[in-house]
Amino acid sequence: MRTRAMRSVSLLAAVVALGLAVSGCGGQPDGHAGRDAAVAAHRARQVAAAWDGSAAAAAWRVGYHPMGDVIQLPRGGLRSKADEQAYQDHSFVLQGKLPATGSKDSRVAWAGGASLTRPLAGAEESYKTLSGGRGGGQPHLTVTGAKLGTITVTTSRGPATVPAWLFTVDGYASPLKQAAVAPSKLPQPPLGQARDVPGYPLNQLVKIAADGRSVTVVALHGVCDDGPAVEVLETSGSVVLSSSVQHRKDGGYCTKQAKLQQVTVKLERPLGNRVLLDAHTGQPVPYKPEHGPSPSWS
């Protein structure tokens, strides 16, 4: 196992006012920074050792854990700013009848023949996820029907063919698709959250590159430091990410504001079915779509 430090890309995702004590984030003595790095590296090794070969890792690898969007917009995307706003606001109106489905299971399938049976969500239940369980305002998207089909979803085990409801949306020639099976339950992590380890937990996984050679995550840092840095520890069974901040050399007072910033981390080999872990929490880094809850962590 070896650790490589990766510098962040400068892409601001959001700015939040958090009650985090990030004051005093100017310069640090070299010895203090060195001790912080050693503590963080030790924690990453602990996380990797706890997960590699564990029951939690085994459960993760045989489950259905979406790591990419479970909703696919109509071909070509939404046609106007108003429709984009309606989608972001979960503003939908149902005009028509949705098909009734009894309680039954359905199949998630991976390339190579692996598959998993999961409970099938009904069309009405899936529609409520889209609409947030409320009526649409202005602007809104109008759903006129649905039928059962499939979509391809990025998962912790690679791309999977997943049953999906194909919703007909007024004004669009192709459907809006939503995965219709529930994710597997998250395994109990083999160790707890870190205490007194420098840095912050990673906020979310944004995407995994198509070739699996990089991952983009959201990291937290203060408004007066030089941005987040993410170190990576790769083993045969896991990839452990440790987020820290790059301290400014000039010192000075720092407020309690913080920023969420996207960081792209390159890997020495494709992620594959290795577990992507956050060193601080000791848990898989949660995937969260731009709009709506995580399909696995909600």
- Residue 298 in any domain: the answer is no
Q: Look over the chain and give the mean of its residue pLDDT values, rounded to a whole number.
A: 82
Q: Evaluate whether residue 292 is within a structural domain.
A: no
Is 223 part of a structural domain of the chain?
yes
Q: How many residues can be counted in the chain? A: 298
Distance of CA 60 to the CA centre of its chain: 15
- Do 77 and 166 lie in one domain? The reply is yes
Are 207 and 267 within one domain?
Answer: yes
Q: Give 64 or 223, the one with higher predicted confidence.
A: 64
Where does a domain end: 115, 149, 179?
179
What's the domain count of the chain?
A: 2
Residue 172 is encoded by which pair of tokens? 């669009």
160 and 75 in one domain? yes
Q: Is there a single domain that holds both residue 174 and residue 192?
A: no
- The tens digit of pLDDT for each residue in 109-155 reads 998 899 999 999 999 999 998 888 777 788 999 999 999 999 999 99
CATH number of the structural domain spanning residue 153: 2.40.128
In one-letter notation, the amino acid at residue 117 is T
Instruction: Quote the pLDDT of residue 190.
Output: 95
Last residue of a domain, one of 162, 179, 196: 179
Kindly report which listed range (76-90, 188-202, 274-288) carries the lowest average pLDDT score: 188-202
Which two structure tokens, joined as six digits, stand for 14? 């959001």
Same domain, 170 and 85: yes
271 and 125 in a common domain: no
- The span from the CA of 95 to the CA of 256, in Å, is 48
Cα–Cα–Cα angle for 51, 54, 56, nearest 5°? 80
Determine the Cα–Cα distance for residues 294 and 291; give it in Å rounded to an integer. 9
Residues 148 and 163 sit within 8 Å (Cβ to Cβ): yes
Q: Of 127, 155, 179, at which residue does a domain stop?
A: 179
Position 102 scores a pLDDT of 64
State the Cα torsion 38-15-67-298 to the nearest 10°: 110
pTM flag (> 0.85): no
Give the single-character DSSP code of 134.
S
Could you give the percent of the chain with pLDDT greater than 90?
54
- The parent domain of residue 196 ranges over 2-62+188-278
Can the peptide bond before residue 293 be classed as cis, meaning omega within 30 degrees of 0? Answer: no
